[in-house]
Chains A and B, each alone.
Chain A
Amino acid sequence: MKNLLDEDLARAAQQGDDDAFAELVHRYERQIFSMAYRLAGDYDEAADLAQEAFLRIYRMLDRYDPQKKFFSWMYRVAQNSCLNTLNKRPHNVIPVENAEEYLAPEGSDAAQTASTAEPEQNYLNRELRQNIDEAIAQLPDNYREVVYLRYIEDLSYQQIAEICGLPVSTIETRLFRGRKQLQKNLLRLMQAN
């Protein structure tokens, strides 16, 4: 099952194979959850949004065309589901600190740093992270989107290109320019603070 392509898994899921759908959930739960968190700003609400998004993907499986890329279809359905749910109900946006403990996978450098660093270092890391978030928020929309997709949702260039409906070369260009602009924004914020 782990070696099957997304499209083959989706086709099997359309035939009623729940194991195939479970494999798809396992493969992309991180990306969909990250997207939900980016939209909701709250960890618990993101869990609800992401679960609802996968349910909607399951309900709409019969409308998926296996000739098309599954990831981009799935991502759009999930994003639409999250946006619709958020638009329908009020929600409290809690600052990013709410999800700090979930930010990095176990064993990663960032996790190691977060767990063992001195409090002062932790404070600096937090301040840097906040500045980075603010610097990203100041980016133009087309740069900000690809930066989020690449670094927060951990998507490949190809996946980003499929979602945005753009050539990979355009994504590469936007990421390059987005990073340059991000450096300028970050320096300005660090100097101001």
Chain B
Amino acid sequence: MAKQKPWQSDEEFEMLLRQSLTAIQPPADFSSRVMAAVAQEKQQKAAAPQVVPFSKTGNRQARRFGPSFWPGLGTIAASLVLFWAAFGLPAGSDEPQARPFVPGLQTAEIVRQHEPVGPQRPELNSEEFNPGQQQSDQNAVANQPEPAKPAEPVQTEPPVQTRTLNETPKTQQTTPTNVDPVAVEPTQAELEPPADETGNGELILPQAAYGTDAQGTLSVRLLAEVPSSQIYSPAINGRGTAASFYTADADNVYSWRANLTEANSPEVTLVTSRSDMEPAELSALLSPTTAKCQPTELVASPDGTIMAQNSHDGIWISLSEGEVYNISDEEMGGNLLAWSPDASKLLFTNADGQLFMSYPLEKRIYQITDLSVKDVCWSADNQTIIFLATNQGQDALYIAELI
């Protein structure tokens, strides 16, 4: 039986809708609850470390590296290298080890190389190291041939000039090559480090207000370098315990693995090699971990709420609620733009390939390195990155950790 229509006109239907669809009333104490939460927020914010606001290029006070820090560290590092050169490496260090990255030094890192064994051609296992994915590293191919005699380490004289990594190329400070950096007298301003420097020689990042609760330091270390070889497809496993990359020559593709469990001495080994790959397969294997972006391209955060653009006039951020702003007043326009898996941080390069990291919602930027970076990879825990850079024509893999 057809029911009678409960309205006879458009006006009655309008009234019916208004009676049936009314706004939901919030709890009576809703406003009080919100303001209590606001008051608590204010208290927590007052107790939190001060966040240094992003400032324009001319204001060096906002930069995280103090001007007195790097020359001092460079001096210590230069002294250590001279000591090693004079007295040799410590016992037990015949095998190449990853040394901490020190600015200004050009020490090449030696990777232990293994000669491939006979006719066996084990399959390359690249599944373990899909960037950012949680993968077990227990099924890695473990066909390690007999270790060959390691090549002689290549050491170069450390250059006298030191560089402050955080400064842009335009304002890069260098000391003349014929001046002993130890003799440079620091100014009074340089003697007074920024208030939030721990003094242990590491970059300090203030607590991020959104998306992360990390308050710590950033350390950049050289991870691996294969002489006369380009490096491809850097990746880090889900637990952050191992990294991988490929090198290739005219005949073979080599798969390498770096054990990251020992922070100061990552062990890099050749896992396997392969010579019978199809061109398409080879191209896929050696493709960049982070796809190159164009200056007009919008790259969405993993959660889809923020869009970023690496443009020539800066890094543009577009929020889903409509706000659009530029977080960099310096020219960028590099071809890398990589979101952390939790969308709290953003890596990008400028036109010279120098790598920066930002907390885009707080509009804070930190320079990671002034080397020319070709590729980056975030770890799944949003705290570690691996980046591939070119240093004097030689590819090298670096690891940077937000400790």
Q: What are the residues of chain A within 8 A of B319 when measuring CB–CB?
A: 80
The answer for the CA separation of A51 and B34 in the assembled complex, in Å, is 6
Is A179 in contact with B323, judged by CB distance below 8 angstroms?
no
Is B22 in contact with A33, judged by CB distance below 8 angstroms?
no
Is A104 in contact with B17, judged by CB distance below 8 angstroms?
no
Is B21 in contact with A152, judged by CB distance below 8 angstroms?
yes
Is B14 in contact with A76, judged by CB distance below 8 angstroms?
no
Is B23 in contact with A153, judged by CB distance below 8 angstroms?
yes
Is A29 in contact with B303, judged by CB distance below 8 angstroms?
no
Is B23 in contact with A154, judged by CB distance below 8 angstroms?
yes
Is B41 in contact with A80, judged by CB distance below 8 angstroms?
no
- Enumerate A17-45 residues with CB–CB distance to B below 8 Å: 18, 21-22, 25-26, 29-31, 33-34, 37, 43
Is B41 in contact with A43, judged by CB distance below 8 angstroms?
no
The answer for the CA separation of A37 and B21 in the assembled complex, in Å, is 13
Minimum distance in angstroms from B351 CB to a CB of chain A: 28
Minimum distance in angstroms from A142 CB to a CB of chain B: 18
Q: Tell whether B149 is near chain A: CB-to-CB under 8 Å.
A: no
Is A55 in contact with B41, judged by CB distance below 8 angstroms?
yes
Is A104 in contact with B22, judged by CB distance below 8 angstroms?
yes
Q: Tell whether A63 is near chain B: CB-to-CB under 8 Å.
A: yes
Q: Is the interface of A mostly helix, strand, loop or mixed?
A: helix
Candidates A33, A87, A153; contact of B25 at CB < 8 Å: A33
Q: What are the residues of chain A within 8 A of B170 when measuring CB–CB?
A: none
Minimum distance in angstroms from A6 CB to a CB of chain B: 16
Is B35 in contact with A73, judged by CB distance below 8 angstroms?
no
Is A179 in contact with B14, judged by CB distance below 8 angstroms?
yes
Q: Tell whether B58 is near chain A: CB-to-CB under 8 Å.
A: no
Minimum distance in angstroms from A17 CB to a CB of chain B: 12
Q: How large is the interface on B (under 10, 10 to 19, 20 to 34, 35 or more residues)?
A: 35 or more
Residue of A nearest to B209 (CB): A59
Given contacts A29-B31, A51-B33, contact A58 B38 (CB under 8 A): yes
Candidates B19, B38, B323; contact of A18 at CB < 8 Å: B38
Q: Tell whether B6 is near chain A: CB-to-CB under 8 Å.
A: yes
Q: What are the residues of chain B within 8 A of A59 when measuring CB–CB?
A: 41, 209-210
Candidates B14, B18, B39, B303; contact of A84 at CB < 8 Å: B303
Q: Tell whether A46 is near chain B: CB-to-CB under 8 Å.
A: yes
Given contacts A55-B38, A58-B41, contact A22 B25 (CB under 8 A): no
Kindly name the residue among B16, B35, B210, B325 whose own CB sees the greatest number of chain A CB atoms within 10 A: B35
Is B321 in contact with A76, judged by CB distance below 8 angstroms?
yes
- A residues with a Cβ closer than 8 A to B are 18, 21-22, 25-26, 29-31, 33-34, 37, 43, 46-47, 50-51, 54-55, 58-59, 63, 73, 76-77, 79-80, 84, 87, 99, 102-105, 108-110, 113, 125, 128-129, 132, 136, 151-154, 179, 182-183, 187, 190-191, 193
- B residues with a Cβ closer than 8 A to A are 2-3, 5-7, 10, 13-14, 16-27, 30-31, 33-35, 37-39, 41, 209-210, 303, 305, 319-323, 325
List 29 A–B pairs whose Cβ atoms lie within 8 Å, in order of A's numbering: A22-B35, A26-B31, A29-B30, A30-B26, A47-B26, A54-B37, A55-B38, A59-B209, A63-B323, A76-B321, A77-B321, A80-B319, A84-B305, A87-B303, A102-B25, A103-B22, A104-B22, A125-B20, A132-B16, A151-B17, A152-B22, A154-B23, A179-B13, A179-B17, A183-B7, A190-B3, A190-B5, A191-B2, A193-B3
The 10 closest A-B pairs by CB, nearest first: A76-B321, A33-B26, A151-B21, A154-B23, A37-B24, A34-B23, A54-B34, A34-B24, A77-B321, A110-B19
